Amino acid sequence: MLKTNKRPVFLNLLQIRFPLTAIASILHRIAGVLMIFSIPFLIYLFELSLRNEGSFMTMSNLLQQPWVSLLMYVLLWAISHHFFAGIRYFMVDFEWISGRSASRLSAVIVIVLALSVPALVFIRNLI
């Protein structure tokens, strides 16, 4: 009698090669979480900008800090990725995108568009 092993298997997620559609899906979820966690910080910045002229200058100086600027670019990526991926999933739900090759192509388009938005804003700020 052959005995099968029922013990759980340890999977190293860093060694698994995910398809592009899975990467787009995981990034969509990460973008959503980043947007949710950024809400208190954005509300704080908004409140600072509306309080008075001094607090507006404080908010403006805070946005000039490199780490805050990086955080804002990451947030811009999260918003743009979530937006484009949401459109992609909408199209998948209505079966406007079907098949493996179309799904792969749409995932690549979402990733490229989501990366290009913050890159274009960064280049625009350099000029």
In a domain, 64, yes or no: yes
Alpha-carbon torsion, ordered 81, 84, 86, 88, to 10 deg: -130
Task: State the pTM of this model.
Answer: 0.83
Q: Give the integer Cα–Cα distance in Å for 125 and 69.
A: 11
Range of the domain at 31: 20-126
Q: pLDDT tens for residues 66-99? A: 999 999 999 999 999 999 999 999 999 999 998 9
Flag whether 5 is in a domain: no
Name the percent of the chain in helix, strand, coil, to the closest 5.
Answer: 75, 0, 25
Q: For residue range 109-119, list pLDDT tens digits in order.
A: 999 999 999 99
Q: Which of 37, 111, 118 is nearest to 74 (CA)?
A: 118
Instruction: Please check whether residue 15 lies inside any domain of the structure.
Output: no
Render pLDDT for 33-71 as a digit per residue (tens, 0 to 9). Answer: 999 999 999 999 999 999 999 999 999 999 999 999 999
| CATH classification at residue 75 | 1.20.1300.10
Total domains, the chain: 1
